[in-house]
Amino acid sequence: MATITTFHDKICRSPKTELHVHIEGALTPELMFHLAKRNNVKLPYNSADELRAAYSFTNLQSFLDICGVGVSVLITSRDFYDVTMDYIQHAVSDNIVHSELFFDPQLHTHRGIELTTIIDGIERALIEAEQKYNFSSKLIMCFLRHLDEQDALDTFSRALPLFEQYKHRLIGIGLDSTEQNHPPEEFQRLFARAREHHLRVVAHAGEEGPPLYVKQALDILKVERIDHGVRSVEDELLMKRLVDVKIPLTICPLSNIKLKVFDDMKKHSLKQLLDSSVMLTINSDDPAYFGGYLNANYLAVTDAFHLNQNDIYKIIRNGFEASFIEEEKRQLLIKQLDAYWKESP
């Protein structure tokens, strides 16, 4: 047991990246009730404990329904600052040195919240984190696939000045929300426009959706990373392609269990992906809802699959290599990572 504890400690202390985390999913029950009181928003729960007890999700949609309740408290720039800073505190505690955060503007603009309100609050927190913790970060604007492409295109058009204003931070777009009956091909024009503006592109695919959705995200949307992608193991040719082209998957293990993608961590496809040399990374997704921030995800898969130091080092390094960080800084961070794993007991 002592050896396992020491290995756990080494994992927790290691510098890491996080490439798949949603700002809206970092809203803890306690902060939700605090913001509800500040903004005079009535929640359909009487306490943070009662809300947390409702986190018995049966699928992705059941989570999205409760998440929709949560975002109702995010109204002012200060609110977006607070939820971002709360995530940063957890990230720094988990020794994350670079994070690429998702946010969903349509969740807020449909409620009458201005795009500038959202980004200004998030950006203030990220600037403060950089100054206080040397915390590196990028932002990716995600679009909701259960809404039609025209809605996404309209939102993207309104956001274009912000991509220019915040080009140091706001570097790409993504696609999220429920996959069922919403294939990536429905968003071909949106992603083409993003690429025309030299933005990075990623998409959720192969979580609840089939391997076909992963292939569409690669072939039609031409994404650089696949968020989730855990069902790729069902397609042998797709697996070979992921390995040959080094397409990163941003896997979120505890999320996959909480949303019933797998009913047990030992049945997760992560080990099969790892053994097949797919470039996978580990992330927390919506940590306030799924019962664990980044270190908890690493420890869960380490224990479930008896991963060794080489496995964990490889996964952590994948995160740096798959990130959209500037190359000079990437190499510096990898050098620090290598020094840590070489020198730490």
Q: Could you give the residue numbers annotated as active site?
A: 207
Beta bridge partners of 175: 143
Strand order in 96-103's β-sheet?
Answer: 16-22, 96-103, 136-144, 170-176, 200-205, 225-228, 249-251, 280-282
Supply 305's token pair.
């699959």
Task: With residue 274 as reference, give the H or E element that holds it.
Answer: helix 270-275
DSSP type of residue 250: E
Q: 127 phi and psi, to 5 degrees?
A: -65, -45
Q: How many CA atoms lie within 13 A of 248 on its CB side?
A: 23
Tokens 């496809």, located at residue: 269
SS3 state of residue 111? coil
* Type of residue at 10: K
Tell me the three-class secondary structure of 153-211, residue by residue: HHHHHHHHHHHHHCCCCEEEEEEECCCCCCCHHHHHHHHHHHHHCCCEEEEEECCCCCH
Supply 273's token pair.
């992906």
DSSP type of residue 263: S
Q: Do residues 178 and 186 lie in contact, with contact meaning Cβ atoms separated by under 8 Å?
A: no
How far, in Å, CA of 230 to CA of 242, rounded? 12
